[in-house]
Amino acid sequence: MNYAPLPVPQLKEVKERLHSLLVTGNQEIDQVMTYLLQADGKMLRPRLVYAVASLQENQEGVVVDIAAALEMIHMASLVHDDVIDQANTRRGRPSLNSCYSNQVSVLAGDYLFASAFQLINFHHLPEVMEDVTGTIRTMCSGEIMQMASLYNVDISEADYYQRIFAKTACLFACCCRSAARAADLSPQILQMLNQYGLCLGFAYQIIDDVLDFVADPKLLGKPAASDLISGNFTLPVLLAMQNEREGPRMLELLRDSTSIADNMAELMDILVKTRALRDSIATSRFFVQSALTALEEIPPGEGRNSLLDLSHYLLDGYYANLIQLDKDRIDETGTAN
């Protein structure tokens, strides 16, 4: 299957707009922005914006700018996240902080945030601005909360969902709402699109968290199990801890936070034996299904088809990769549970 829900000319349009807004003739900042724009991102947030906007005819220029603004906000948060996580790679090449410095990254992120707000403001969309600024506040406070709970073996599944809401789902949903507002869709439709974005965001982040354990580090652009090593206990880990037979041993290994990397083989073994990775994938699929259910409330047509296509595009490739890359590991059913 080869999903391509957003026709290439539209993606190209967003990229060109980003370039014209961010590369403006100041040598130093242009260099940094050009480096960031050369990265081959998946452009998921612009794809979401365009798919939602396709439900209704739109004023020329608004959709591309909402898409560009939300991509800038995503870029800013990645650049700052890489400073926060001291990450060396991003999108398969050196991260901005490792290529330039933390200092440049902090400023580049601020520059991107300011540029995004300037662009939204240009179209006089105060409701979109309210939504986007509130979303960023949620993202930041969520991340500060996450930092406070690193290596905490007592975090619950509810904590995990709150965390991935702040990390991913709230911006996905905000993309849907912003595009719906710019396209002047009804509050009922906006509500369904919000639900769709949220569920897609949850599905996407859970798979991302599974991939951290099983995908090829080269493909992932970061070392394997980096979440676990850095104390970010994701859904597979929480599920394994709940396992009657293996949970106590998992807990024991995680309590000794300095030896997590050394005990990785055993930890991976438990994740497989307890089917925690498989169950996490099933949970992700459940969220995709919920996203599709939300779409049922939206009148059928080309626009709705774009949204359906997009959910497949976002996740089917991921699921396929998982099966392709790590068939053996995940397919081991083990005897536990």
Residues forming contacts to its own copies in the complex (CB under 8 A) are 26, 28-29, 32, 76-77, 80, 83-84, 101-104, 106-111, 113-115, 117-118, 121-122, 124, 126, 129-130, 133-134, 136-137, 139-141, 143-145, 147-148
- With b meaning 16 or more CB within 10 Å and e meaning fewer, what string describes 196-235? bbbbbbbbbbbbbbbbbbbbeeeebebebbbbbebbbbbb
Closest-CA residue to 269 (of 242, 246, 292): 246
Which residue, 114 or 219, has its beta carbon nearer to its own copies?
114
Q: For residues 74 and 168, what is the distance between their CA atoms, to the nearest angstrom?
A: 10
* Closer residue to its own copies in complex, CB, 130/252: 130
Helix or strand holding residue 89 (H, E): strand 89-90
Phi (first) and psi of residue 89, to 5 degrees: -130, 155
Cβ distance to its own copies smaller for residue 101 or 186: 101
Among candidates 195, 146, 196, 186, which has minimal Cα distance to 166?
146
Smallest separation (angstroms) from its own copies to the CB of 85: 8
In the complex, least distance from residue 129 CB atom to its own copies, rounded to whole angstroms: 4
Nearer to its own copies, 76 or 169 (CB): 76
Output the smallest distance, CB 311 to its own copies, in A: 28
CB-count burial class (<10 Å; 0-12, 13-18, 19+) for 156:
exposed
Shortest Cβ 327–its own copies spacing (Å)? 37
Residue 137 one-letter amino acid: R
Instruction: Report which of 81, 52, 61, 54 is spatially closest to residue 13, judged by C-alpha positions.
Output: 61
**Nearer CB in complex with its own copies: 43/104:** 104
CA Rg, the chain, in Å?
A: 20
**Least distance from C-beta 282 to its own copies, angstroms?**
32
Cα separation, 205 vs 198, in Å, equals 11
Q: How far apart are CA 119 and CA 65, in angstroms?
A: 7
Q: Based on CB atoms, which residue is closest to its own copies, 111 or 286?
A: 111
Strand partners, 94: 89
Q: 241 with 153: CB under 8 angstroms?
A: yes
Smallest distance from the beta carbon of 279 to its own copies, in angstroms?
Answer: 30
Q: Which is nearer to its own copies, 120 or 277 (CB)?
A: 120
Q: How far is the CB of 199 from its own copies (least distance, A)?
A: 24
Please, which residue, 86 or 188, has the CB nearer to its own copies?
86
At its nearest, how many Å lie between its own copies and the CB of residue 102?
Answer: 7
